[in-house]
Structure 1
Amino acid sequence: MDLSNKQYHLAQIATFTSTGDMVGLKKAIDEALDNELTVNEVQAAIVQLYAYTGFPRSLNALTALSERVKERQAQGLKTAQGKSATPLAEDTDLLMLGTKTQTALVGQQVDLSGLSPDIDRYLKTHLFGDIFANDLLNWQEREIITIAALSAMQGVGNQLEAHIHIGKKNGLTDEQIKEIIQLPKQEMSQFPMGDDNTAYAKYFVGKSYLNMLSTDQIPIGNVTFEPGTRNNWHIHHASKGGGQILLVTAGRGYYQEWGKPAQELKAGDVVHIPAEVKHWHGAAPTEWFQHLSIEVPGENTRNEFLEPVADADYNQLK
C-alpha cells in the first residue's frame, strides 16, 4: 500500500462521510482510532468535509463519531482525544490568510468573484483561512480527504480532476491517488454491484464487478467498473438481430466504436450497439462507472473479444 496508515484511514472516513454510509463510517472510525489516529484528527477531517459534501453529511458524520467515542469509552477501548489545534490570533485577517493559503495550495491565485463575490470570500476566509489553518492535518492529508470524498460523489468530475492536480502538486503520487479513488464505495445505484467479474476478467483492463439481474427471457447484467477499467475491443456477432443495449446508471465512462471518437457517458444515457460493430466501453480514468448490459435476442449470437484498448488512446481521454 502506498498510502500511509493515517492517510488510508482519513480517506476511508471521507469516503463514507460523503456517501452518508454511517455503518461503514463507524467501522472506519473504529479502525482509525485503533490505529493511532486521535478523536480530534478524525473530527477535523469531518469538519472539513462540510465544505465539500454539505452540512447534513458532515453533521451526521460528527454525530456518528460522538456516538462511537462514547461507546468505545464505555467498552474500555482506545479513544485518544489527542492534542487540540493551535488557536489563531484574535486579530488574524482570515481573508488575507485564506488567500495566501489558497494561492500556495493551488499554485496560482484563484478568483471566483465572477461566479459570486460571496462564494469567493467564503472560500478564502472560511475554508482556506479558517479550516485549513487547523494544524491537526497537513495540506496533503486535507487533499487526500477531498479527493476521497469527491471520488465517491457523482457529478463532480471537474472538481475531482482539479483536486487530483492539487494533490500531486502537494506531493501525492499517482499510486497514492489510485488507491484513494479505488477505495470500496457504497452501492452506486439501486442495482447491487455483485461479485468480482472473474469469468470475464481476462477481457478487461482493470477490475470490474458483475451482478446478473436476469437470465430469463433477456439476459441483463449490472456491470460496475473501477476507475480506469475498460473491456477489450469486442464484437457481438449474430446472423440476425443481436447486439447490445447499455443503460448507464451511475458514474462516468466512455463508449467507442472502431474508427469513431469516444463518447462520454453518464447516468441516464442509453447506448444501442448493433451486431457486428467493433467497440469497447468502460470507466473514465478517475471515476467509477456502472451500466446495465442488455443482450438483444438474435440468431447464432456469440461474443468475440479482441485486443485491449491501447493505453496511449485511453490516456488521451479526459
Structure 2
Amino acid sequence: MKKLLYSTILLLTLFITATLANAQETDSLSKQQESIVQIAALTGKGALPALATQLHIGLDVGLTINQIKEVIIHTYAYAGFPRSIRGLQTLLTVLQDREAKGIKDKLGAEASPIRSNAPKYDRGKAILDSLLGTPQNGPQTGYSAFAPTIEIFLKEHLFADIFERDVLTYAERELVTIAVLNSIGGVEPMLRSHFGICLNVGLTAAQLKQFITVIESTIGEKESQDAQKVLDEVLKS
C-alpha cells in the first residue's frame, strides 16, 4: 500500500513538473525564435556587420540555411528589395566563411510547391482571415478604398505568394514581420495589427514581452520603447 501511494505521489509530481515546464516553455521564445527576431530586425535596419554575427549564432542554435533564407526573403515585403538582397548577400558570405572553416550547416527543407488552383486573391484573403481570426467581408475602407490596387497586391502577393509558403510557420513569419516593422519605425498601426495577429497564431503575451527585450538588445532602446507602447495598447484591448 505504501509503495502504491509512493508511486502515485511520484507520478503526480512528475506530471506537475512536466506541466509547469511546458507552460514555462510556451511563455518563452526559443533560441531559434529569438534568432529569427534578431536576423529580421538587423536585416530591416541594414546593420550588416551585426547581421553577419547574428547569422553565425542563428546557424549555431539550429536554424537551417533555408529557414534563414526565408526569414530574409520575408523581410523584403516590409523593408524592400535592397535590404533583403543585402541580407542575402551577407548570409552567402557567412556560409562561405563557415564552409571554409569546415562547418557543415544543415540546408533544411525547401518550400513546397503550391498545389491550389484557386485564384491568388481568394487564397490570400483566406490566409489573412485566418491570421486575423475573423472574415473580412465588409466594404473596403481607408487606404483599400482609396487605392484598391494595393489591396489586391496585398492579398495576392503578401498573403498568397509569401505567407502561403511553408518552411516558416505563421508564428515565425509574424515574428519576422513585427521585428522588421519595429526596426524601420513610423508604422505603428501596422505593428499594432501584427501584434494582434501574433496572439491569434499562438504567441503568448509573455513571448511578445520577451520580443521587446530581444529588440532592445539587438537594435536599441528607442525601438524597444516604441514597440512596448504599441504592445501595451494591444494587451489592454
Q: Which amino acid aligns with 1:104?
A: S
8 Å Cα contact 2:38/2:218 also seen in 1 = no
8 Å Cα contact 1:105/1:170 also seen in 2 = yes
The equivalent position to 1:46 in structure 2, one of 49, 58, 72, is 72
Structure 2 gap ranges (5+) = 1-26
Separation in 1, partners of 2:112, 2:162: 12
Separation in 1, partners of 2:151, 2:206: 32
The equivalent position to 1:179 in structure 2, one of 183, 207, 210, is 210
Separation in 2, partners of 1:65, 1:173: 30
Separation in 1, partners of 2:168, 2:65: 12
Separation in 2, partners of 1:128, 1:29: 26
Pair 108,28 (structure 1): closer, same or farther in 2 beyond 3 Å: same
Shift of 1:316: 10
Tell me whether 1:100 sits opposite 2:126 in the alignment. Answer: yes
Separation in 2, partners of 1:155, 1:80: 37
TM-score with structure 1 setting the length = 0.58
Pair 41,92 (structure 1): closer, same or farther in 2 beyond 3 Å: farther
CA RMSD of aligned residues (A): 2.7
Tell me whether 1:81 sits opposite 2:81 in the alignment. Answer: no
Separation in 2, partners of 1:36, 1:78: 12
TM-score with structure 2 setting the length = 0.77
1:121: which partner in 2? 152
SS of aligned partner of 2:202: coil
Shift of 1:83: 1.3
Separation in 2, partners of 1:109, 1:164: 18
SS of aligned partner of 2:146: coil
Equivalences for residues 208-227 of structure 1 within 5 A:
226-227=224-225
Pair 116,5 (structure 1): closer, same or farther in 2 beyond 3 Å: same
Shift of 1:136: 0.3
Shift of 1:170: 1.1
Pair 317,164 (structure 1): closer, same or farther in 2 beyond 3 Å: closer
Structure 1 gap ranges (5+) = 188-207, 209-223, 228-251, 253-282, 288-310
SS of aligned partner of 1:125: helix
SS of aligned partner of 2:72: helix
- Higher helix content, 1 or 2: 2
Equivalences for residues 137-286 of structure 1 within 5 A:
137-183=168-214, 184-186=217-219, 226-227=224-225, 252=226, 285-286=229-230
- Higher strand content, 1 or 2: 1
8 Å Cα contact 2:40/2:176 also seen in 1 = yes
8 Å Cα contact 1:39/1:80 also seen in 2 = yes
Deviations 1:264-288 (A, max 9, x none): xxxxxxxxxxxxxxxxxxx96248x
Structure having greater relative contact order (Cα 8 Å, sep ≥ 6) = 2
Shift of 1:77: 1.4
1:135: which partner in 2? 166
SS of aligned partner of 1:113: helix
SS of aligned partner of 2:54: helix
Pair 120,177 (structure 1): closer, same or farther in 2 beyond 3 Å: same
Separation in 1, partners of 2:79, 2:187: 11
Shift of 1:65: 0.9
